[in-house]
């Protein structure tokens, strides 16, 4: 075995890049595309907040909401009506085409937002971690009720764990929704106290920059300060366009939606070589072609282009491209979930977890051995050399083994604290070497942010999330 360097993707010719970016701008109507994940302690109000936001954005009809209200009253939990909005979309989604992470799409004035794995109130945490491996930004929901913030934050709650996790996965912007403000009379003192404690933690211990944090007071239940300016004087008296704060992470008068619109555009791998992760393959009903569903993770593709499937090296021609709601497209770009109709390929050589590439640039690396920076959670027994795991990468789940504990890292600076640690424990960050059961397609985090992240599970529990830092490929000589 030898450790060959995986070279960064070749840059695109400037004229071609300009043309491509223009086509992409038309494709997205000039809006930024952002994938968002919602995190926070259980009961902080994540589902209610996002449900109410989707309702105000016109995503849920009054009739549907009326039904949720009746249903939730029946079981004596009327406050859950908005949380059910998300469960309903989940149900709808499960009838559709398989996609690795479910998403709810909505558009604002400036953005197209994909809400990844919208938080249903049942089984949110494992979903959250899956979503976090694909998100650009996060909304951290805080329960501002006296005593509750303290439970979620100080006393071993999920606020700390989640924020470390998302940061370690490369999510660099955070909106902090200080929720349930209706329960403490929209108190300025309470809001500023939470801001002070939390921003100090997020900056000093997690490694966020102040400029990448936005704090916003709101009430998910009352729907206050989500998409419309708050009218409650208790809030507007101290939180308005003219109020100034000691920190750039509070912008007076902003709603949650304003904060979303203010998220900085994400760098997209539009101009990099094409990478398409296969999540389903089947014979086309109308033609002799093969339908390949999945997500375009990088680059772009147009009808008539050739496609190479790795690792089998099967190649064919793309006859048409369709969205999940069966709209036909001339082109697809990084970020799109689509179905390709491909001619001249053998279905037996294509399976879930394979990748489609172009035939021009170097194909995607294939390997069964990687090194990665990981952060550990929920471990019941410490991790040692030879620890068995399931490697979750995009639409793949493969048996794998943690072969070597390479080094223990400082969680925020990433510096090596100890070489070759004997064991790793919960909350620690480390470099490890992982041997996967069989060779799969992978990319380095530094080359493709979208393709360099994964998760490890053990006994059905997510125990780590990581970034691929090295791909060890067999030397062909
Ligand atoms: P999750 O576990 O974070 O998804 O939290 P839920 O959305 O299920 O909400 C937990 C509980 O908090 C429910 O009883 C909600 O009705 C309540 N809740 C959520 N948001 C608010 C809010 O803004 N104000 C008040 N007073 N209660 C809220």
Residue 188 or 44, more confident: 188
Is the C-beta atom of 249 inside 6 A of ligand 1? no
**Tell me: the pLDDT tens digits for 54-69?**
889 887 778 877 877 7
- Identify which of 38-42, 65-69, 110-114, 115-119 has the greatest average pLDDT: 110-114
Is the C-beta atom of 44 inside 6 A of ligand 1? yes
- Identify which of 4-13, 43-52, 87-96, 423-432 has the greatest average pLDDT: 423-432
Taking all residues of the chain, what is their mean pLDDT, rounded to a whole number? 86
| Nearest CA owner, ligand 1 atom 12 | 45
How far apart are the CA of 205 and the centre of ligand 1, in A?
28
Position 397 scores a pLDDT of: 84
Position 473 scores a pLDDT of: 81
Res 263 pLDDT > 60 = yes
Position 68 scores a pLDDT of: 75
Is the C-beta atom of 401 inside 6 A of ligand 1? no
Mind spelling out the 3-state secondary structure of the chain? CCCCCCCCCCCCCHHHHHHHHHHHHHHCCCCEEEEEEEEECCCCCHHHHHHHHHHHCCCCCHHHHHHHHHHHHHCCCHHHHHHHHHHHHHHHHHHCCCCCCCEEEEECCCEEEEEECCCCCCCHHHHHHHHHCCCCEEEEEEECCCCHHHHHHCCCCHHHHHHHHHHHCCCCEEEEEEECHHHHCCCHHHHHHHHHHHHHHHHHHHCCCHHHEEEEECECCCCECCCCCCCCHHHHCCCCCCCCCCCCCCCCCCCHHHHHHHCCCCCCCCCCCCEEEEEEEEECCCCCCEEEEEEEEECEEECCCEEEEECCCEEEEEEEEEECCCCEECEEECCCEEEEEEECCCHHHCCCCCEEECCCCCCCCEEEEEEEEEEECCCCCCECCCEEEEEEECCEEEEEEEEEEEEEECCCCCCEEEECCCCECCCCEEEEEEEEEEEEECCCCCCCHHHCEEEEEECCEEEEEEEEEEEECCCCC
**Tell me: the pLDDT tens digits for 147-197?**
888 887 876 677 887 888 788 777 889 999 999 999 999 999 999 999 999
**38, 39, 43, 142: residue to mutate for ligand 1 pocket, most atoms within 8 A of CB:** 43
| Nearest CA owner, ligand 1 atom 28 | 221
Res 124 pLDDT > 60 = no
**Rounded CA gap, 88 and 201, in Å?**
36
Is the C-beta atom of 226 inside 6 A of ligand 1? no
**Mean per-residue pLDDT, 345-349:** 95
How far apart are the CA of 82 and the centre of ligand 1, in A?
9
Beta bridge partners of 312: none
Position 388 scores a pLDDT of: 97
Is the C-beta atom of 220 inside 6 A of ligand 1? yes
**Mean per-residue pLDDT, 117-121:** 47
How far apart are the CA of 254 and the centre of ligand 1, in A?
21
How far apart are the CA of 48 and the centre of ligand 1, in A?
6
**85, 216, 220: residue to mutate for ligand 1 pocket, most atoms within 8 A of CB:** 220
Position 205 scores a pLDDT of: 83
How far apart are the CA of 95 and the centre of ligand 1, in A?
28
Position 114 scores a pLDDT of: 82
Res 434 pLDDT > 90 = yes
| Nearest CA owner, ligand 1 atom 2 | 43
**Mean per-residue pLDDT, 448-473:** 88
**Mean per-residue pLDDT, 278-300:** 89
Position 99 scores a pLDDT of: 33
Residue 403 or 87, more confident: 403
| Contact present, 438 and 420 (Cβ < 8 Å) | no
**Rounded CA gap, 446 and 50, in Å?**
32
Roughly how many angstroms between the first and final C-alpha of the chain, as a whole number? 10
| Nearest CA owner, ligand 1 atom 20 | 45
How far apart are the CA of 143 and the centre of ligand 1, in A?
8
Is the C-beta atom of 130 inside 6 A of ligand 1? no
Res 22 pLDDT > 90 = yes
Percent of the chain clearing pLDDT 70 (strictly above): 88
Res 421 pLDDT > 80 = yes
**Mean per-residue pLDDT, 33-41:** 86
Res 93 pLDDT > 60 = no
**Tell me: the pLDDT tens digits for 214-238?**
999 999 999 999 999 998 999 999 9
Q: Residue 120: pLDDT band by 50, 70, 90 thresholds?
A: very low
**Mean per-residue pLDDT, 292-319:** 94
How far apart are the CA of 152 and the centre of ligand 1, in A?
14
Is the C-beta atom of 79 inside 6 A of ligand 1? yes
Q: Residue 337: pLDDT band by 50, 70, 90 thresholds?
A: confident
Position 66 scores a pLDDT of: 80
Percent of the chain clearing pLDDT 90 (strictly above): 53
Position 170 scores a pLDDT of: 79
Res 2 pLDDT > 60 = no
């Amino acid at each position: 075995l030898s450790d060959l360097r995986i070279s960064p993707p070749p840059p695109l010719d400037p004229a071609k890049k300009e043309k491509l970016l223009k086509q992409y701008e038309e494709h997205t109507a000039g809006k930024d595309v952002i994938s968002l994940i919602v995190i926070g302690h259980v009961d902080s109000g994540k589902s209610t907040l996002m449900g109410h936001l989707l309702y105000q954005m016109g995503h849920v009809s009054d009739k549907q909401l009326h039904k949720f209200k009746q249903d939730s009253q029946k079981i004596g939990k009327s406050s859950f009506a908005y949380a059910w909005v998300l469960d309903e979309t989940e149900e709808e989604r499960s009838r559709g085409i398989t996609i690795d992470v479910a998403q709810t799409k909505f558009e604002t004035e400036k953005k197209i937002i994909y809400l990844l794995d919208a938080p249903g109130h049942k089984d949110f945490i494992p979903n959250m971690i899956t979503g976090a491996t694909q998100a650009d930004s996060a909304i951290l929901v805080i329960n501002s009720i006296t005593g509750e913030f303290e439970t979620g934050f100080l006393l071993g709650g999920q606020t700390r764990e989640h924020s470390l996790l998302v940061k370690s996965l490369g999510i660099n912007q955070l909106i902090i929704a200080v929720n349930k403000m209706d329960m403490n009379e929209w108190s300025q003192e309470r809001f500023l106290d939470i801001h002070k404690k939390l921003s100090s933690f997020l900056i000093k211990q997690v490694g966020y920059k102040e400029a990448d944090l936005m704090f916003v007071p709101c009430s998910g239940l009352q729907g206050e300060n989500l998409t419309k300016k708050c009218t409650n004087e208790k809030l507007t008296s101290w939180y308005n366009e003219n109020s100034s704060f000691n920190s750039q992470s509070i912008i007076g008068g902003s709603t949650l939606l304003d904060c979303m619109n203010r998220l900085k555009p994400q760098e997209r791998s539009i101009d990099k070589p094409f990478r398409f992760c296969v999540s389903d393959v089947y014979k086309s009903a109308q033609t002799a072609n093969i339908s390949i569903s999945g997500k375009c993770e990088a680059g772009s593709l147009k009808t008539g282009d050739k496609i190479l499937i790795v690792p089998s090296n099967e190649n064919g021609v793309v006859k048409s491209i369709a969205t999940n709601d069966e709209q036909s497209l001339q082109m697809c770009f990084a970020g799109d979930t689509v179905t390709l109709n491909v001619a001249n390929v053998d279905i037996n050589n294509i399976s879930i977890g394979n990748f489609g590439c172009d035939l021009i640039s170097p194909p995607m690396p294939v390997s069964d051995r990687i090194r990665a920076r990981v952060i550990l959670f929920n471990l019941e027994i410490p991790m040692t050399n030879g620890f068995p795991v399931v490697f979750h990468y995009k639409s793949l789940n493969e048996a794998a083994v943690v072969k070597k504990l390479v080094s223990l890292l400082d969680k925020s600076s990433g510096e090596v604290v100890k070489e070759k640690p004997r064991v790793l424990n919960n909350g620690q960050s480390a470099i490890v070497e992982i041997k996967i059961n069989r060779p799969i397609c992978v990319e380095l985090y530094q080359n493709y942010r979208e393709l360099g992240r994964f998760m490890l599970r053990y006994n059905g529990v997510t125990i780590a999330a990581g970034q691929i830092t090295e791909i060890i490929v067999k030397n062909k000589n």
